[in-house]
Amino acid sequence: MANKNLNAAKEAKKDEFYTQLADIENELKHYRQHFRGKTILCNCDDPYESNFFKYFANNFNAFGLKKLIATCYDGSPVQGNELMIDFGDFTDEPKKIPYKVEIKEVTDVNGDGRIDLSDVRHLIQNDKNVLSILKGNGDFRSQECIELLKEADIVVTNPPFSLFREYVAQLIKFEKKFLIIGNMNAIHYKEIFPLIKENKVWTGYKPFGGGMNMIQTPKDFDPTKTKSFKINERGQIIKNIMGCIWFTNLDISKRHEHLILYKKYSPDEYPHYDNYNAIDVDEICNIPKDYDGIMGVPDTFLGQYNPDDFELIGLGSGNLAKLIGVQRNYRGRTDLAFSINGIHKCPYSRILIRKKK
């Protein structure tokens, strides 16, 4: 178990990326009604660099937050310290220690009529109850951090992708509301898809395509292995991480929008799978309005999924496909196959759905 935890920690370090403030603002503007009077926990976030922490600290009063808590794992590996936090006697190298920040109020110290980083910095440097060193290493699985999780109402962060299954499992175990970033491939995890099917987790506002431009930790950056990147005005490395989407269990208006369907079903246009009783739909806009059977649709359907209109039957590939009766195809794999003019084809990935009557 010790080696397993150590390896997991190493993997978490490898995929440590920091979310840009613009991406946070673009998504979280849709959730403001959920934050009032709540304790927000950012438990993968060093206030040295975390834009999640900065976003909530700057909007603490505007959102009417009860408390903001941020914790980091063994300090921040990212260069730079925009908050200019003075750790005093804590350590000569503050980036090598795990710590937490707890904010209960933020005042407009400079009197400019708004809350900004200078007000947050003043609070951290002058209130000794705000900043403290954690006893452990800051791992979200430690008992110390679990106690903070119990206190929180909503968790908002970008957890390590390599620990995504375990991270979500913890949130579900403690029945927490959350808004987190993950890779869209997580949809196919046997631990995640059942939660989506049972309407315990769904995707956020950001469209599936395009990924996110994230700040990469310099120690992990190798320009010889990176096809595209840029350096911002602070000298930080910005790299596009493909497949990043938001996962949440906070209710949003997008989740209740109805798809406008205009296509009519035709057996010539919609091929039938060889190894499962369903038709293939290549694009969301082509879902037939008059077909009541099971359909295989692209993963991007979840970005427009309304549980009042559709039922999720299951996945069309992998171990979860076996559970709903998908048979092995001509290649010996458990994923959907269909024939066109006698030629077998396999869609890249399909989610099986059915319209609700």
Listed residues 217, 233, 254: the one ending a domain = 254
Range of the domain at 262: 257-355
Among candidate residues 218, 235, 254, the one where a domain is terminated: 254
pLDDT at site 236: 66
Output the CA–CA distances (angstroms, integers) from residue 74 to 78, 94, 97, 191, in the order listed: 12, 10, 5, 28
- Structurally, how many domains does the chain consist of? 2
Please check whether residues 232 and 279 belong to one and the same domain. no
Nearest to 207 by CA among 26, 33, 40: 26
Spatial distance between the Cα atoms of 40 and 57, rounded to a whole number of angstroms: 10
Q: Which of 77, 76, 157, 84 is nearest to 119 (CA)?
A: 84
Query: How far apart are alpha carbons 69 and 44 in whole angstroms?
Result: 11
- State the residue for tokens 């959102």: 63
What are the backbone angles phi and psi of residue 351, rounded to the nearest 5°? -110, 135
Residue 12, pLDDT score: 43
Together in a domain, 85 and 187? yes
**pLDDT tens per residue, range 169-216:** 999 999 999 999 999 999 999 999 999 999 999 999 998 877 776 666
Are 244 and 325 within one domain?
no
User: What's residue 104's pLDDT?
Assistant: 93
CA distance 137 to 120: 24
Q: Can you tell me the distance from the alpha carbon of 276 to that of 257, in angstroms, rounded to the nearest whole number? A: 29
Do 151 and 239 belong to one domain? yes
pLDDT score, position 127: 80
Assigned token pair, 255: 């989740």
pLDDT the model gives residue 346:
77
Per-residue model confidence as pLDDT tens for the chain (357 residues): 444 443 444 444 444 567 888 899 999 999 999 999 999 999 998 877 789 999 999 999 999 999 999 998 875 554 344 444 554 444 444 455 788 999 998 887 777 767 777 777 778 877 878 888 888 889 999 999 999 999 999 999 999 989 999 999 999 999 999 999 999 999 999 999 999 999 999 999 998 877 776 666 655 556 555 566 666 666 667 676 778 999 999 999 999 999 999 999 999 999 999 999 999 999 999 999 999 999 999 999 999 999 999 999 999 998 899 999 998 887 888 888 887 667 778 777 899 999 998
Do 176 and 213 lie in one domain? The reply is: yes
- Whether 18 and 157 map to the same domain: the answer is yes
Domain boundary among 217, 239, 254: 254
